[in-house]
Amino acid sequence: MKVLVTGGSGRLGESVVDGLLRAGHDVVGVDLRSPRQHRDRWFAADLTVVDEASWALTRVRPDAVVHLAAIAVPFSRPEREILRTNTTLAYNVCRSALDAGARTVVVASSPTVVGYGAPTGWAPAYLPIDEAHPVRPWNAYGLSKLMAEHVMRMFTAQAGDRMRFSAIRPCYVIAEDEWAGAPTQQGHTVRERLDDPALAAGSLFNYVDARDAADFVDLLLRRAEDVPNGETFFVGAADALAREPLAELLPRFHPGAAGLAGTLSGSESAFRNTAAERWLGWKPERSWRTELR
């Protein structure tokens, strides 16, 4: 199918574009900056401007849209700007996709909607966390991602069976070159995050290989009719980005999780891909134990 990937030049976007191309799709990326690869399949547009978003979707007329464009790092910009930008992007892209006749839209959210790391303290309702877990974002980035989910559901209600909408919550994305020592999103290497648990503690040690995330997006696009319209999916590795069990690490860094951390066994992650397994039978193939070089 013809797929438009917004934010196609980002850390996850480049992997999604590459993965969808390898899977046989006709892929076009749109972003404000050019990608490192597949530049012949990219064009620039500011999707926060509604007319440019409409122009971009009309230009491509895609069968499916994978919406990844966002200010992707909490506190990297003023809070009001993050909230305004990410919410506007989600609305403009979904609205323009509907107007352009796209059949499927996948919107990127984030595990941060759960609210871990709140300065006033945080305690999970249960572990491992799945899509049914209560959400309580405490910063503009997490709120903007929850708003993107609500925008997606609003258009699900508007479009009905004319379109298939879903949201994905990819965990901390690790691109292929980062396994070989390139810096991650926070500037540390993967090995440094493993050697110093404090570096990954803020995200509850969650992560996902970017290629696994791309494989999931491909599967979701191909089988959009098989899942409930408006569904949300966690997309993460099966284990934690930690050398020690989370049963020992979580109480150290998140005291509110102490009473439940013991329910996690061995290298088990704090997050579970319940919806992905239930509706699509999907499981991640890669782990830091197999990929770290």
Q: Are 6 and 16 in contact (CB under 8 A)?
A: no
Q: What is the pLDDT of residues 4-30, one digit of tens each?
A: 999 999 999 999 999 999 999 999 999
pLDDT number for residue 213: 98
DSSP character string of 61-89? --SEEEE--S--STTSS-HHHHHHHHHHH
pTM: 0.97
CA separation for the pair 247, 288 (Å, rounded): 19
Q: How high does pLDDT run on average in the chain? A: 97
What is the reported pLDDT for 4?
A: 98
Reported as a single tens digit per residue, the pLDDT across 65-109 is 999 999 999 999 999 999 999 999 999 999 999 999 999 999 999
pLDDT in tens, 194-212: 999 999 999 999 999 999 9
**Which candidate, 115, 166, 164, places its Cα nearest to that of 282?**
166
What band does 284 get if pLDDT is binned at 50, 70 and 90? very high
Where are the chain's structural domains? 2-118+127-173+207-237+272-285
pLDDT of residue 227: 97
Determine whether domain 2-118+127-173+207-237+272-285 maps to CATH 3.40.50.720: yes
**For the chain, percent of residues with pLDDT exceeding 90:** 99
User: What are 214-249's pLDDT values in tens digits?
Assistant: 999 999 999 999 999 999 999 999 999 999 999 999
Cα separation, 105 vs 98, whole angstroms? 9
CB 45 within 8 Å of CB 55: yes
pLDDT number for residue 242: 98
